[in-house]
Amino acid sequence: MERSRGVELGKLWDDIPGPDKFEIVQQLVGFEMALVSIRFPIYGSIYYANNLRNVDSNQMIELGNRKNTVGVEFAVGPTTNRTFFDDGKDAVDVRRGPWTSIEDYVSACANRELACLQTFSEFPRPQGLFYGPGQYQPTAQRKQEALQNVLKVAKFLSPKDKEISKPALWHPDLHGDNIFVNPDQPTEIISIIDWQAVNLSPLFLQARHPALIEFEGPIPEGLKRIRLPDNFDDLSPEEQLEAKKLRAAHRFKLQNSLAGQITGLPGSLFSDGELIVQGMLIRLQEEWATSVGSSIPCPLSFTEEDKKQQNVDEAKWASGVELMEEFLGQVGAYRGWNGWVNHNNYEHFRVQLEKCREEFLNSHSVTSEERSQWEAVWPFTDK
């Protein structure tokens, strides 16, 4: 393994002029487009074929231009997706692919989370101040119920458009520290690192903008479905290509649709999100006729009491998330902070955490019993 030449783009980004930033982003888009344009047969990760056992013909990757790969064969094998290995999941006996259909892929993700819940006595702490008096109480049972419901409906939610569910290669972590550029000419990208977990997953679950250009503003609403123009057959080949690209871009709204989110979110339920997914499943049951079809019986059976409890739990969940954001803001940490700090800042954050903890306990505990409850579940402890 060799060290990447150049300097991390993140160290220069704030001082780079706007036009140069645009040029860099264009290059990144070009890289991703090149990856997405490659056709892969099934879902998993890419290996040298001779490093896999019992390779079936449908695992082999057909290469167009073999100029630089004469004598080398590639095949799709088990996934290297981090969601199958992080948080101790590497020790759990689950199927890691490859998979021939999106239904198999989604089911494998949900079954992986179920296996983790059955294997471990504890699960990662969610992103909120939960478990306290009057707060939402995450449980393994709630997570399992959500996952089992996802498995009931997964086969009905697959995109009809095979182009957006195709096995696609995509770099999931294009932030400033993974992109190395020429320090004297920052628009020259020298290398991109952190490829070890890059894998072949459904395109609509992979595609995202780089973290380098994270945008937290509102997404424009009211976009109508884009169709090919009526005179499509009369357009030049170049114009037809542009029209197809525009329609393809609109297809990725599936990622944020009800079906798209139910398909993608269950892969993280061992850690967090069971309440969100269950709420989406309740909504899916209510919209089943329009979302799936009235001729297909809905396999979900939420009662009115279930829906009322969901509303109560969602309010508690929102309260816990808000409490965590407020607390981290007072500490001076970022959203999702797990307590890690540079050793140079350790003493500052230790003192700040203790100060903010006391202020929180004083303001959110009416009785000594409530204070003890909060202390017992406090997420930031010095170990």
Same domain, 160 and 285: yes
Alpha helices of 154-295 — where are they, by DSSP H? 162-165, 203-206, 237-251, 258-264, 274-286, 288
Same domain, 142 and 268: yes
- Banded pLDDT at 223 (limits 50, 70, 90): very low
First-to-last alpha carbon distance for the chain, in angstroms, is 34
**pLDDT average, residue stretch 81-87:** 93
- What residues form DSSP beta bridges with 74? 48
Q: Is residue 62 part of a domain?
A: no
- Banded pLDDT at 250 (limits 50, 70, 90): very low
Same domain, 155 and 264: yes
SS (H, E, C) 228-253: CCCCHHHCCHHHHHHHHHHHHHHHHH
Each residue of 189-204: pLDDT tens digit?
Answer: 999 999 999 999 999 8
Distance CA 354, CA 361 (A): 11
Question: In this structure, are residues 141 and 153 in contact, taking their beta carbons and an 8 Å threshold?
Answer: no
Question: In this structure, are residues 200 and 167 in contact, taking their beta carbons and an 8 Å threshold?
Answer: yes
**Which pLDDT score, from 0 to 100, does residue 185 have?**
95
Single-letter amino acid, residue 124: P
**In the chain, what percentage of residues exceed pLDDT 70?**
86
Each residue of 137-191: pLDDT tens digit?
Answer: 999 999 999 999 999 999 998 888 888 899 999 998 888 899 999 999 999 999 9
Q: Is residue 314 part of a domain?
A: yes
Same domain, 232 and 317: yes
Q: Residue holding tokens 């306290």? A: 132
Task: From residue 212, give the alpha-carbon distance in Å to each of 7, 21, 215, 276.
Answer: 15, 10, 9, 27
Same domain, 106 and 235: yes
Q: Is residue 103 part of a domain?
A: yes
Tokens of 88: 């101790």
CA 272-42-284 angle, to 5 degrees, is 40
Q: Is residue 9 part of a domain?
A: no
Q: In sequence order, what are the residues at sequence separation of 6 or more whose Cβ sits closer than 8 angstroms to the Cβ of residue 213?
A: 25
- Write 218-224 long-range contacts (CB < 8 A, 24+): 219/256, 223/250, 223/253
Same domain, 258 and 315: yes
Distance CA 341, CA 247 (A): 45
* Beta-carbon-side half-sphere exposure of residue 375 (alpha carbons within 13 Å): 12
**Boundary of a domain, candidates 291, 308, 333:** 333
- The domain total for the chain is 2
- Banded pLDDT at 316 (limits 50, 70, 90): very high
**pLDDT average, residue stretch 356-370:** 94
Q: Which residues of 144-153 are buried (b: 16+ CB within 10 A; e: fewer)?
A: bbbbebbeeb
- Banded pLDDT at 251 (limits 50, 70, 90): very low
Q: Is residue 70 part of a domain?
A: no
Q: Is residue 44 part of a domain?
A: no
Same domain, 257 and 359: no
Distance CA 104, CA 125 (A): 28
Prediction pTM value: 0.81
**pLDDT average, residue stretch 45-59:** 94
**Which pLDDT score, from 0 to 100, does residue 214 have?**
65
- Banded pLDDT at 260 (limits 50, 70, 90): confident
Same domain, 157 and 253: yes
- Banded pLDDT at 89 (limits 50, 70, 90): very high
Maximum average pLDDT range among 41-45, 118-122, 229-233: 41-45
pLDDT at 293 exceeding the cut of 50: yes
Handedness of CA 42, 48, 52, 55 (dihedral sign): positive
Same domain, 260 and 153: yes
- Banded pLDDT at 225 (limits 50, 70, 90): very low
> Which of 267, 274, 256, 266 lies closest to 126 in space, CA to CA?
274
**In the chain, what percentage of residues exceed pLDDT 90?**
61
Q: In sequence order, what are the residues at sequence separation of 6 or more whose Cβ sits closer than 8 angstroms to the Cβ of residue 129?
A: 135, 320, 323, 324, 327, 379
**Which pLDDT score, from 0 to 100, does residue 161 have?**
82
Q: Is residue 369 part of a domain?
A: yes
**Which pLDDT score, from 0 to 100, does residue 235 have?**
67
pLDDT at 3 exceeding the cut of 80: no
Q: Which residue would you say has higher pLDDT here, 38 or 337?
A: 38
- Banded pLDDT at 249 (limits 50, 70, 90): very low
Same domain, 229 and 325: yes
Q: Which residue would you say has higher pLDDT here, 288 or 335?
A: 288
Q: Residue holding tokens 């783009």? A: 9
Same domain, 150 and 231: yes
Note down the domain range covering 160: 84-165+225-333
Same domain, 252 and 378: no
Q: Is residue 191 part of a domain?
A: no
Rounded to 10 deg, the angle between the 368-376 and 346-364 helix axes is 140
